[in-house]
Amino acid sequence: MRWVTVEGVNGVGKSHLIAQVPDVVRLAELPDCAADPLTERLMAALGGDRFLRTGFPLAETFTLLGLAARRFELARRAYGDSAVTILEDRGVDTIAIYQAAILSNGDDDRALELALRLRAMAAQWRPPPDRTVLVVDDDQTCLARWNAREGRSPTPSERSLMRQASRLYQRLLQHYTIIDRRELNEQQAVQALLNACQEHS
C-alpha cells in the first residue's frame, strides 16, 4: 500500500485534480468522508462551521488526529500489503496547520512550532505518507474558487485563518512535492499528481 496525501489552502483545486487521477483509491476530506459510522458521528459533532470550530480547539484537534489515525487503520485493514495507491485529500498536515493556526491566535511563529509538534505527535499513531503533495495557486484564484463552491465570500475570521494557513504551508515547503498551478495547466497538474503517485520516495 502506497500512501500519497494532497495538501493546499482552501480553493486551490486539489479535490478537482484528485478526481482526475486514475487507478488510485481516493479518500475524501474528513468533513466529506463517510468511511464508517464512528467517523460520521464525530464529524457531525464537529460541524460548528466550515473549519470545524466548535469553541473547544484542543478537543477538536485530538478528535481530528484520532480520526486521521483511524482512517489509516481502516485503509490498512482493507488493503494491507497490496499494490494499491491511496490518494488522500488532506491529511495530518491540514490538521496540524489549521489547528495550530486556530490555537495560536495569529502568532505565526507559535503556530509553526505547534504545527511541527502536532505532526510529530501524529507520526506516533500512523506512519507519515510516502509522499505529501502541496498544490499552490495565486490567492485571488483560490478565493474565486471558494466563492463559487461555497456560494459566498469567506467571513473575516475564515479569511484570516486561510491566510495564516497559507503562510504556514509556505514555511514548510521542504516537506512537500510542489504542484504550482500558476505554472501548469490543468492537464499538466493532473499529470504531475499522477507522477507523484507513481514515483518512489
Quick one: pLDDT at residue 200? 61
**Are the C-beta atoms of 27 and 92 separated by less than 8 Å?**
no
The per-residue pLDDT for range 132-145, each reduced to its tens digit, is 999 999 999 999 99
CA distances to 23, 56, 58, 73, 97 from 175, rounded to whole Å, are 25, 29, 25, 23, 13
The per-residue pLDDT for range 56-112, each reduced to its tens digit, is 999 999 999 999 999 999 999 999 888 899 999 999 999 999 999 999 988 999 999
Residue 135's nearest CA partner among 75, 196, 92 is 196
The per-residue pLDDT for range 14-72, each reduced to its tens digit, is 999 999 999 999 998 876 666 677 777 777 777 767 788 888 999 999 999 999 999 99
State the pTM of this model.
Answer: 0.92
The per-residue pLDDT for range 114-172, each reduced to its tens digit, is 999 999 999 999 999 999 999 999 999 999 999 999 999 999 999 999 999 999 999 99
Q: How confident is the model at residue 173 (pLDDT cuts 50, 70, 90)?
A: very high
- What single letter denotes the amino acid at residue 199? E
Quick one: pLDDT at residue 34? 60
Quick one: pLDDT at residue 98? 96
Grid cell 503562510 is found at 167
Fold of 2-198: Rossmann fold (3.40.50)
Grid cell 463552491 is found at 149
Provide the 8-state DSSP code for 90. S
Quick one: pLDDT at residue 123? 95
**Domain boundaries defined on the chain:** 2-198
- For 92, the grid coordinates are 495530518
Q: What are phi and psi of 103, to 5 degrees?
A: -80, -20
Quick one: pLDDT at residue 114? 97
